[in-house]
């Protein structure tokens, strides 16, 4: 499969809400911390109940998300999953299985820690995004 250009990696990272507030310099460094992985159709990228320690961004190809053996979503280029595992290391809440050959960008918690050590301001920006997402999911209409 074709290698992903650095500019494409940066654009993919920028689209993830968790990283949307980062500067270009921070995104460039973050992109360097990702690893490009080719995945074959049928491969299970994430298993429900297993501990999560990495996030993935779909660069090419497709996958299905299943929770308790029921389809809940389809993923394609630009979609991402597992980003909260970079922070909470909790068990995965769904399976993600490749429905075609794929290329994904992977960042594990060690690489994420390197980013935070190098750019401590990234932690504040990410925390802001996480809090906003938590408030959004917890709010109920009056």
Residue 86 covered by a domain: yes
| 8 or 100: which leads in pLDDT | 100
Buried b (16+ CB within 10 A) or exposed e, 71-106: eeeebeeebbbbbbbbbeeeebebbbbbeeebbbbb
**CATH number, domain containing residue 131:** 2.60.120.10
Residue 51 covered by a domain: yes
Q: What is the pLDDT of residue 61?
A: 96
Domain that holds residue 58: 6-137
Which pLDDT band, with edges at 50, 70 and 90, does 4 fall under?
Answer: low
Q: Where are the alpha helices (DSSP H) in 57-103?
A: 85-88
Overall average pLDDT of the 33-39 stretch: 92
- Output the six-digit token pair for 52: 């999560």
Residue 42 phi/psi, 5-degree rounding, is: 95, -15
Q: What is the pLDDT of residue 18?
A: 72
- Mean pLDDT (the chain) is 85
Residue 84 covered by a domain: yes
Q: What is the pLDDT of residue 142?
A: 47
Residue 46 covered by a domain: yes
Q: What is the pLDDT of residue 66?
A: 96
**58-115 pLDDT tens trace:** 989 999 999 999 999 999 988 888 877 777 778 888 999 999 999 999 989 898 889 8
Residue 142 covered by a domain: no
Residue 128 covered by a domain: yes
Total tally of structural domains belonging to the chain: 1
Q: What is the pLDDT of residue 97?
A: 98
Residue 75 covered by a domain: yes
Q: What is the pLDDT of residue 133?
A: 60
How many angstroms separate the Cα of 98 from the Cα of each of 3, 12, 18, 31? 18, 19, 23, 23
- Name the pTM for this structure: 0.76
Residue 30 covered by a domain: yes
């Amino acid at each position: 499969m074709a290698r992903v250009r650095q500019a494409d990696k940066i654009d993919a990272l920028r689209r993830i809400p968790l990283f949307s507030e980062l500067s270009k310099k921070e995104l460039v460094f973050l992109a360097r911390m990702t690893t490009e992985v080719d995945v074959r159709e049928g491969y299970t990228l994430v298993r429900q109940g297993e501990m999560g320690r990495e996030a993935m961004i779909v660069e090419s190809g497709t996958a299905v998300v299943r929770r308790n053996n029921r389809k809940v979503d389809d993923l394609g280029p630009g979609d991402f999953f597992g980003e909260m595992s970079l922070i909470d290391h909790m068990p995965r809440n769904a399976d993600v299985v490749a429905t075609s050959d794929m290329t994904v960008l992977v960042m594990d918690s060690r690489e994420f820690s390197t980013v935070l050590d190098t750019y401590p301001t990234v932690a504040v920006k990410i925390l802001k995004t996480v809090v906003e997402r938590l408030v959004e999911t917890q709010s109920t209409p009056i």
